[in-house]
């Protein structure tokens, strides 16, 4: 499993409001109006336990190539 890394994916008025764990894709949110959104997101990330990637992601689907009728 890759090393856990927090990535901020959404900001409101340059304040982080949504973060994602790059290892297990868990999401963490903060309220930009409270003034501590970044620390709230970081705390949620620090306390979470990564789940195996196979358990959190749906099975990949494959698209069939279609050929035009001639």
pLDDT at residue 28 tops 90: yes
Per-residue pLDDT, 59 = 47
Tens digit of each residue's pLDDT (9 = 90 or more) over 41-50:
999 999 999 9
pLDDT at residue 34 tops 80: yes
Most confident range (mean pLDDT) of 36-40, 49-53, 66-70 is 36-40
CA distance 55 to 17: 26
What backbone torsions phi and psi does residue 30 show, to the nearest 5 degrees? -140, 155
Torsion of CA 17, 22, 25, 31, to 10 degrees: -10
Of 43, 41, 44, 45, give the one whose Cα is nearest residue 12: 41
Q: What percent of the chain has pLDDT over 90?
A: 59
């Amino acid at each position: 499993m890759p090393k856990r890394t927090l990535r901020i994916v959404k900001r409101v008025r340059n304040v982080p409001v949504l973060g994602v764990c790059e290892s297990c894709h868990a999401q963490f949110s903060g309220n930009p109006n409270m003034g501590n959104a970044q620390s709230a997101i970081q705390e949620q990330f620090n306390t979470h336990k990564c789940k195996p990637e196979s358990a959190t992601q749906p099975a990949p689907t494959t698209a069939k190539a279609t050929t035009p009728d001639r």
